[in-house]
Amino acid sequence: MLKTQFPKIKLIENKENIGFAKANNQAIKLSDAEYILLLNPDTILQEDTLQKSIDRIEKDNKIGALGIKMYDGNGKFLPESKRGFPSPVAAFSKMTGLANLFPKSKVFGKYHLGYLDSNRNHEVDVLSGAFMLIRKSVLYEIGLLDETYFMYGEDIDLSYRIQQAGYKNFYLAESNIIHFKGESTKKGNLNYIKLFYGAMIIFASKQLNKTQANFLIPILKAGIYFRAFTDISTLIVRKVFYPAMDIFVILLNIFFLKYLFEQHIKYNEHLIYPPTFLYINIPVYVSLWILSLWLFGVYTKYAQWKHIIIGLFIGFIGISVIYSFLPLSLRSSRSIIVLAFLLNNFGLLFYRWWCTKIFRLEHNFFKTNYRYIIICLPEEIHHLKILIEGTHPNSHFSGYISMVENTQGTKLNLGKTTQINEIIKAYNIAQVFFSTDTVSMKDIVQTMQFVHEPVLFKMIINQQMIISSNNKNIQGEIVGIGIPVSNRNSIIQKIRNWLS
């Protein structure tokens, strides 16, 4: 794609992943430009970002490198746009959570310099490698990126060496970029923890004095084990919470029915279920229901209420078939199977509804149609609707918001971007699409910041592609015309796709 659509670029095709620092050094050595821009692939620049960055760096010869104000895919400011060096106090505050509790403190907020206004320009210690404009002359004076770092830490090391050479690291707040945080390396996994904290240890060993390093390195090593433990524990809880709760609810229903039949319904008949009911029948019933729920995608992020009903029904059919082949000594619970199926539907749907309302989880679990709006020009609507509804099943178009004032009389025009919160509430909007062809990145970021409702933001590029990333721990979305989709789906995935 790069060769076809951008034939003038110099494309370096490495056969293996050699790391951020080494790969960037390859490109830097081939460049004859005055400036070098380190830029993550998961970024979108505002229209004036490059020009304003060049203009600012050229005003001051002492600026060695320049960074930019960054927002994530939800329009939230990314505090790593400006940082301090990872001193013992800064590292301790970050790992213990004190930095989050007191972000504007000059003592505990040193890592992200939270006490500095993010909307004003500042000289800072560390710039992010996601966007870092560097004078090439300074780069060759201090040396290229340290290839000891595989990923993470090289921007801190470079910022440190720039400052030690007598130059400034400058944070520019006059423009911004969107950085789809976490697309390069997903947070919340062991590889990230190892890379990030390992990079901090390399920096401490290389750049800090012996006393500081001896104090900081044990803290960082402890941080690796602590983060690994907490992240693995969180992952396990997320993975097993719903299956464990489903098992609990199904067991509760079966034991309730057993008690009801023995103590009330069949009391006069002196019904007592045999021990085999407890250690053979019940485990088989629960296992088949949970397996069926899993097969039908109940434990995926795209699960909806209908998947529970279908999963339980298929499980019920499977249990009924197996029941008919059991010996007579084990056929003691036909009524319980039928009633448990009905109670399970109610129980599983009810507690998920309760979680949704109380903990604001799974906002779309009980939705069948995802209402969306488009921020675009009127003449784009028809084509953009075809793209969106062709790639986003169950999406329902509610209207559009135009950046042009003279379209207020149009039937589908819902209002202005300043009214977006009211529009989202009134129409129960789940997704907001921006046309980047006609809406500037500056307006997109400003509009995102107006929104306080839980919606997904998505961007349409060249009327052909939709991109989004709303969670740093979950893979982002890239769909559209001409993007190949793998047909190597398993039978299970095909079933889930069909249900969707």
380-413 per-position pLDDT tens digit: 999 999 888 888 877 889 999 987 765 555 678 8
Instruction: Identify whether residues 342 and 381 lie together within a single domain.
Output: no
Which residue range forms the structural domain that includes residue 50?
18-82+118-208
**Is the Cβ–Cβ distance between 131 and 68 less than 8 Å?**
yes
- Residues 392 and 421 placed together within one structural domain of the fold: yes
**What pLDDT sits at residue 210?**
72
Of the pLDDT bands very low, low, confident and very high (cuts 50, 70, 90), residue 76 is confident
Say how far apart CA 131 and CA 6 lie, in whole Å.
Answer: 21
Q: For position 286, what pLDDT does the model report? A: 95
CA distances (Å), origin 216, targets 59, 193, 212, 415, 468: 37, 17, 6, 54, 37
The domain that contains 464 carries what CATH number?
3.40.50.720
Any domain includes 203:
yes
Could you tell me the pLDDT band of residue 156, with boundaries at 50, 70 and 90?
confident
CATH number at residue 49: 3.90.550.10
> What's the pLDDT band for 218 if we cut at 50, 70, 90?
confident
Q: Of the given ranges (14-28, 229-243, 428-442, 477-491), which has the lowest mean pLDDT?
A: 477-491
pLDDT at 359: 66
Whether 1 is covered by a domain: the verdict is: no
* pLDDT at 487 (0 to 100): 47
Mean pLDDT over 219-229 rounds to 69
Backbone angles phi, psi at 167, to 5 degrees: -105, 165
Q: Which pLDDT belongs to residue 253?
A: 94
Q: Are residues 178 and 203 in the same domain?
A: yes
pTM above threshold 0.75: no
The answer to whether residues 301 and 196 belong to one domain is no
354 and 411 together in one domain: no
Average confidence (pLDDT) over 214-228: 70
Question: Which tops the pLDDT comparison, 29 or 328?
Answer: 29
Q: Which residues contact 25 (CB under 8 A, 6 or more apart)?
A: 144, 145, 147
Domain end (from 191, 208, 225):
208
Higher pLDDT, 473 or 78: 78
Strand partners, 177: 45, 70
Statement: residue 476 has pLDDT above 70: no
| Domain presence at residue 93 | no
DSSP state of 71: E
> At 415, is the pLDDT very low, low, confident or very high (cuts 50, 70, 90)?
confident
* Rounded Cα gap, residues 323 and 327, in angstroms: 9
Decide which of 305, 336, 359 is a domain's last residue: 359
Q: What's the pLDDT at 251? A: 95
- Mean pLDDT, rounded, for 261-282: 86
Model confidence at 250, pLDDT cuts 50, 70, 90, reads very high
pLDDT at 346: 95
Locate 484 and state its tokens: 């190949």
Write down the residue that tokens 């400052």 correspond to: 163
Q: Is residue 13 in some structural domain?
A: no
Alpha carbon 316 to chain centroid distance? 36
Q: Residue 89 falls within a domain, yes or no? A: no
The reply to whether 234 falls in a domain is: no
Is the same domain home to 286 and 246? Answer: yes
Is there a single domain that holds both residue 164 and residue 278? no
Average pLDDT over residues 131-140: 94
pLDDT at 484: 52
Mean pLDDT calculated for residue range 437-454: 86
Q: What is the DSSP string of 390-409?
A: HHSTTEEEEEEE-S-GGGTT
Verify that 311 and 417 share a domain, yes or no.
no
Q: Given pLDDT bands bounded at 50, 70 and 90, which one contains residue 287?
A: very high
Residue at 88 is within a domain: no
Q: Does the pLDDT of residue 490 top 60, yes or no?
A: no
Helix/strand/coil (H, E, C) string of 325-351? HCCHHHCCCHHHHHHHHHHHHHHHHHH
**Domain stop point among 359, 389, 410:** 359
| Same domain (yes/no): 345, 377 | no
| Average pLDDT of the segment spanning 75-83 | 89
Pair 69, 202 in one domain: yes
Q: Rounded to 5 degrees, what angle do the CA atoms 47, 457, 452 make?
A: 105
According to the model, what pLDDT value does residue 341 have? 95
Q: 268 with 194, same domain?
A: no
Which whole number is the average pLDDT over 299-324? 88
Q: What is the pLDDT of residue 495?
A: 57
Average pLDDT over residues 16-42: 91
Question: Same domain for 383 and 481?
Answer: yes
Domain count, the chain: 3
**Average pLDDT of the chain, as a whole number:** 83
What pLDDT was estimated at residue 189? 58
Q: How confident is the model at residue 191 (pLDDT cuts 50, 70, 90)?
A: low
Residues whose CB is less than 8 angstroms from the CB of residue 14 and which lie 6 or more positions away in sequence, other chains included: 23, 26
Q: Look at residue 313 and tell me if it is in a domain.
A: yes
